[in-house]
A and B are shown apart, each in its own frame.
Chain A
Amino acid sequence: MKILVAVKQVAALDEDFEIGSDGRDVDPDFLIRDLNEWDDFSLEEAVKIKEASGDPVEVIAVSVGPEEVDESLRKCLAKGADRALRVWDEAVRGSDPIAIARILAAVAKRETPDMLFAGVQSSDQSFASTGIATAGLLGWPHGAVVANLRYAPGAKTAVFRRELEGGLLHEVEIQVPAVLTIQAGINTPRYASLRSIKQAAAKPIEVLGLSDLAVDAATVGEAGSLSRVRRMYIPEKGRAQLIEGSPAEQAARLAAIIREFKGEAA
């Protein structure tokens, strides 16, 4: 039994960031990298299934990115993944989620897992597409925004609940193997102590190139993306009118606004 978990190392912006000279992306000096918050949950869900199963289940973490991504993969190993894979080639640079999905689909063909998990979205670009695009390329059943999952490895179906707007849940039964995108809050991700992350450094991370996966370079990168970045810019930020003064004065103004509003409503 195998569960393949696709993870992403996301980039957050540091203070006083700058757009690069080509105007299409942020200068990398200002990027702070970390494992995507949603992927903590999807990895934890996979490891929970592994630990609850009587039969052996292998959890494999896979990510697409250059060497710095190894740090996030090591965190996954520390949190219970058995193996980690990283795919990289310079041709991959500039890929949109669909181009990435092409690579993930190739990895899934190679590993033939029973389940493929991804996070609902990434905290940096929030496309919410990579996981489901992979399913489309694989031709696998798929379900998005999984807030609750009941799956026994080896079973033919799984039952999950998708989290709809307004806090409503929709229960669905899906055929397996399937691609599921996991929603934050589905479980409580375990803490990976620094020591366990250090020890995980002893586990090897297999690095693959495009040729290892029989992926054509023309189908990834900017050429393989379904959109093109024209420009990136820092938007005009709206600014609230600040209420100054001592806390008592500020609260008094706030109270006045509330009373005025209620006067209207009444």
Chain B
Amino acid sequence: MSRTDAVTRILFEAFSAAEVRLFYALGYAAIAVFFYGVYVQVRKYRRGAPLKLEGGLGRRVWSMFTSVFGGRTVDRRDPAAGGAHRLIFYGFLLLFAGTSTITLEYDILQPLFGIRFWYGRFYLIFSLVLDVAGVALIGGLLYMMYRRGWMRLPKLDYARPDRVPGDPDFNRPQYRREDWAFLWILLIIGFTGYVLEAARLVWLADRADVWDTRWWSPVGAALAHGMMAMGLGEHGAGLLRHGLWWFHGMIALILIALIPRTKVKHIFTAAASLLVRDPLAAQRLPRIPDTQEKPGVDKITDFTWKQLLNLDSCTKCGRCHEACPARAVGAPLSPRDVILSLREFANATLESTTLPAAAELSVHGKAPGQVAMETLWACRTCMACVEICPVAVEHVPIIVQMRRKLVEDGAMDPLLTKTLQTIHKTGNSFGESKRKRGSWTKPLPFKIKDARKEPVEVLWFVGDYASFDPRNQKVSQTFATLLHEAGVDFGILYDGESNAGNDVRRVGEEGLYEVLANANVAALASAKFKTIVTTDPHSYNTIRNEYPDFGGKYQIQHYTSFVKQLFESGKLKVTTPLKLRATFHDPCHLGRFNKGYEPPRDVLKLLGCELVEMGRNRSNSFCCGAGGGRIWIPDPVGSEKPAQNRIKEAAAIPGIEVYVVSCPKDLTMFEDALKTTGNEGKFVVKELIELIREAIPAAQTPEAC
């Protein structure tokens, strides 16, 4: 001991040299097992397909850093869990940093360079901070135990919607065992840490520098007094400390060794997943690389290393399971279970030294670990799962890429097959002749410009439903009239426009999507315009986010923000404020996909409506069920449809008069659901455009030149 005035803790005090050597041997062994485990995991990821990441590394690191250290993603929709996790996170982090600091000095700096710092004031503050960290850790853990054991949260129920009781992987009790084991081990480590600390205090109670500074470890000191009060003497404390030291140390080393093989690995995989996150994962799907022979994912090795990493970062929090509209209506799909199934499959096949034969690697099917066709086809690609996942798992691209394989095999509902063939033939899902695409404009008293023939300021991309569905044609006519009255210089592509392809792509027919995207990009290239406006959120999403990959980059807005600008610039003026109690349904492709939450609400307020929000609003909006091609696939007889579930939510708002939508598919689905849930007559479903028309009755707006 060099400085007697500097208080510190003597490591391995009273341990024999043999014990110390044994400890180090075990320590190295644990670390070796840890690294081997890491190697197995990395080898697994490398067995996936290659992927080049986009975007600057700096931005990614910053984004990961703020997510991990801010804990923001865990806070969402469960602030209590977010808070508790933050306590565990910081508690564990500080305690680990503490141990690392000690190791740094003891094993590296002191022996090699003679540097010491862990003594005196630094040491005392260090002790206090770690004691507090321990309290945080244990506090957080106790809440999590309460949450798992007593609160019976539905999202933590591991029963799967895509299996039946009796299936080998129906309930997965091994998950619950692992969850509890993790909680208990950390708790034991924390608790024994304090007892150990207290025991040492009792054992060294006669040493002034130890005893006099004991309150810098308040929990330990309190425990020490308690233990002494119970009759623990110096000798007994010494024995307790020695034994507990080994116990605590071994548990910790076992934990370290097991990190790569257990839930504990989310420490790394979650951070890594957040690092490689694609903020446009569901909005901009990946193209099929030219080098790839068969489209889509068939074998587990067809997934990219990033997707395999995603599978490992899932912490089974259940937020995606809770958010999924298909799961909510009893469809055999839980995004959580798709990920977990694939994870089990990846672990079973890709962690062995040699890769199994290709025939055993297919992820499609009904065997444990595989994903059934019905599960994949139930998805609405609404991205509620991707949006809420705290660890950046990207479920939707995984599902779509698996669908690509099903499409290639023709394994889909015959009605869907027919629709795809119809779209290929006629460019629209209604089977109408191309020439009829502009027919909805005929009843209008003015002629809408053909943007292919004359230049326009604004190109209005109308979309299939708005062009051909009778109910939505009325909305299109209303919008055209409003634009005309506002003096906007606009035009449409008439029969130069094809289905934008958003849903075709999400069904997995990538070849047909390419045909549609290329056709539309070519049509847009032949037209002269400054900006695009669309009344269809699906078209908006794909043109904005995906057409650039096909050579089409445009300035595009959804009509809600365009109309807001028209109000702000005075081109449209409300003459008859609507005193209606309204609720707004955020369309998936406008809201969650492209963050367009506020403009429609601003417009509603401008119209004079009293806006009352549904519980599930903005990023938590509940999909109408039409996405992902589901509008072309019949629903099972007798089941609730997502749109019905949503309408019931609106119906619960007292005095609700209008349910406002701004998407043609939403209008169709919700008007239908209004009837089938028996709410017809209680309130109405209206497109925002129709409300604008009501607030600006015709012939009251002066014609702008």
Report A-B touching, CB under 8 Å.
yes
Asked if A225 is at the interface of the complex by the 8 Å CB criterion, the answer is no
A14 CA / B432 CA spacing, docked (Å): 10
**Out of A16, A190, A194, which one reaches B509, CB within 8 Å?**
A194
Are A194 and B435 neighbours in the complex by a CB distance under 8 Å? no
B416 to chain A, nearest CB (A): 9
Are B425 and A195 neighbours in the complex by a CB distance under 8 Å? no
Known: A15-B433, A188-B414. A193 touches B509 (CB 8 A): yes
Are B435 and A197 neighbours in the complex by a CB distance under 8 Å? no
Are A14 and B408 neighbours in the complex by a CB distance under 8 Å? no
* Chain A residues whose CB sits within 8 angstroms of the CB of B510 once the complex forms: 194-195
Which of B81-89, B98-106, B511-519, B566-574 lines the interface with chain A? B511-519
A198 CA / B295 CA spacing, docked (Å): 12
* Chain A residues whose CB sits within 8 angstroms of the CB of B288 once the complex forms: 195
**Out of A32, A190, A191, A194, which one reaches B515, CB within 8 Å?**
A194
A188 CA / B410 CA spacing, docked (Å): 11
Are A191 and B435 neighbours in the complex by a CB distance under 8 Å? no
Are B424 and A194 neighbours in the complex by a CB distance under 8 Å? yes
Known: A191-B407, A197-B511. A14 touches B435 (CB 8 A): yes
Are B410 and A14 neighbours in the complex by a CB distance under 8 Å? no
**Out of B295, B417, B433, B514, which one reaches A191, CB within 8 Å?**
B417
Asked if B40 is at the interface of the complex by the 8 Å CB criterion, the answer is no
Are A14 and B433 neighbours in the complex by a CB distance under 8 Å? yes
* Chain A residues whose CB sits within 8 angstroms of the CB of B424 once the complex forms: 194
Are A34 and B511 neighbours in the complex by a CB distance under 8 Å? no
A190 CA / B410 CA spacing, docked (Å): 6
A176 to chain B, nearest CB (A): 29
Known: A34-B425, A188-B414. A193 touches B408 (CB 8 A): yes
Asked if A196 is at the interface of the complex by the 8 Å CB criterion, the answer is yes
Beta-carbon contacts of B413-442 to A below 8 Å, as 1s and 0s?
010010011001100000001011000000
Within 8 A of B (CB), among A153-203: 188, 190-198
Asked if B483 is at the interface of the complex by the 8 Å CB criterion, the answer is no
A188 CA / B415 CA spacing, docked (Å): 12
A32 CA / B407 CA spacing, docked (Å): 26
* Chain B residues whose CB sits within 8 angstroms of the CB of A14 once the complex forms: 433, 435
**Out of A15, A32, A34, A196, which one reaches B408, CB within 8 Å?**
A196
Are B511 and A195 neighbours in the complex by a CB distance under 8 Å? yes
A196 CA / B294 CA spacing, docked (Å): 9
* Chain B residues whose CB sits within 8 angstroms of the CB of A190 once the complex forms: 410
Chain A residue at smallest Cβ distance from B424:
A194
* Chain A residues whose CB sits within 8 angstroms of the CB of B433 once the complex forms: 14-15, 32
* Chain B residues whose CB sits within 8 angstroms of the CB of A194 once the complex forms: 424, 509-512, 514-515
**Out of A15, A16, A188, A198, which one reaches B511, CB within 8 Å?**
A198
Instruction: Choose among A15, A191, A192 the residue with the greatest number of B CB atoms under 10 Å from its CB.
Output: A191
Beta-carbon contacts of B482-522 to A below 8 Å, as 1s and 0s?
00000000000000000000000000011110110000000
Size bracket, chain A contacts? 10 to 19
Interface residue count for B (Cβ, 8 Å)? 21
A137 to chain B, nearest CB (A): 34
Beta-carbon contacts of B550-584 to A below 8 Å, as 1s and 0s?
00000000000000000000000000000000000
Known: A34-B425, A188-B414. A195 touches B435 (CB 8 A): no
Are A15 and B412 neighbours in the complex by a CB distance under 8 Å? no
B415 to chain A, nearest CB (A): 12
* Chain B residues whose CB sits within 8 angstroms of the CB of A192 once the complex forms: 410
A196 CA / B288 CA spacing, docked (Å): 13
**Out of B295, B414, B421, B436, which one reaches A195, CB within 8 Å?**
B295
* Chain B residues whose CB sits within 8 angstroms of the CB of A195 once the complex forms: 288, 295, 408, 510-511
Are A193 and B435 neighbours in the complex by a CB distance under 8 Å? no
Beta-carbon contacts of B395-415 to A below 8 Å, as 1s and 0s?
000000000000110101010
* Chain A residues whose CB sits within 8 angstroms of the CB of B511 once the complex forms: 193-198
Chain B residue at smallest Cβ distance from A14:
B433
Chain B residue at smallest Cβ distance from A40:
B421
Beta-carbon contacts of B162-180 to A below 8 Å, as 1s and 0s?
0000000000000000000
A198 CA / B433 CA spacing, docked (Å): 24
* Chain A residues whose CB sits within 8 angstroms of the CB of B509 once the complex forms: 193-194
B435 to chain A, nearest CB (A): 5
Within 8 A of B (CB), among A1-41: 14-16, 32, 34
Chain A residue at smallest Cβ distance from B295:
A195
Chain A residue at smallest Cβ distance from B432:
A15
Chain B residue at smallest Cβ distance from A197:
B511
Chain A residue at smallest Cβ distance from B408:
A193
A155 to chain B, nearest CB (A): 28
B297 to chain A, nearest CB (A): 14
B404 to chain A, nearest CB (A): 9
A191 CA / B408 CA spacing, docked (Å): 8
Within 8 A of B (CB), among A112-165: none
Instruction: Choose among A15, A32, A194 the residue with the greatest number of B CB atoms under 10 Å from its CB.
Output: A194
A15 CA / B434 CA spacing, docked (Å): 9
A34 CA / B424 CA spacing, docked (Å): 11
Are B436 and A15 neighbours in the complex by a CB distance under 8 Å? yes
**Out of A191, A196, A197, A198, which one reaches B412, CB within 8 Å?**
A191
* Chain A residues whose CB sits within 8 angstroms of the CB of B512 once the complex forms: 193-194
B680 to chain A, nearest CB (A): 13
Are A193 and B436 neighbours in the complex by a CB distance under 8 Å? no
* Chain B residues whose CB sits within 8 angstroms of the CB of A193 once the complex forms: 295, 407-408, 410, 509, 511-512
Chain B residue at smallest Cβ distance from A190:
B410
A197 CA / B514 CA spacing, docked (Å): 13
B519 to chain A, nearest CB (A): 12
A138 CA / B511 CA spacing, docked (Å): 41
Chain B residue at smallest Cβ distance from A195:
B511
A40 to chain B, nearest CB (A): 10
A198 CA / B509 CA spacing, docked (Å): 13
A143 CA / B217 CA spacing, docked (Å): 97
Instruction: Choose among A14, A190, A193 the residue with the greatest number of B CB atoms under 10 Å from its CB.
Output: A193
A15 CA / B433 CA spacing, docked (Å): 7
B678 to chain A, nearest CB (A): 18
Q: Which 7 A-B pairs have the closest CB atoms?
A: A194-B511, A195-B511, A191-B410, A194-B512, A190-B410, A191-B417, A15-B433
B residues touching A (Cβ–Cβ < 8 Å)?
A: 288, 295, 407-408, 410, 412, 414, 417, 420-421, 424-425, 433, 435-436, 509-512, 514-515
A-B contact pairs, 17 of them (CB 8 A): A14-B435, A32-B425, A32-B433, A191-B412, A192-B410, A193-B407, A193-B408, A193-B410, A193-B512, A194-B509, A194-B510, A194-B511, A194-B514, A195-B295, A195-B511, A197-B511, A198-B511
* 9 additional A-B residue pairs with CB within 8 Å, beyond A15-B436, A191-B420, A195-B295: A15-B433, A32-B433, A34-B425, A190-B410, A191-B412, A193-B407, A193-B509, A193-B511, A194-B424
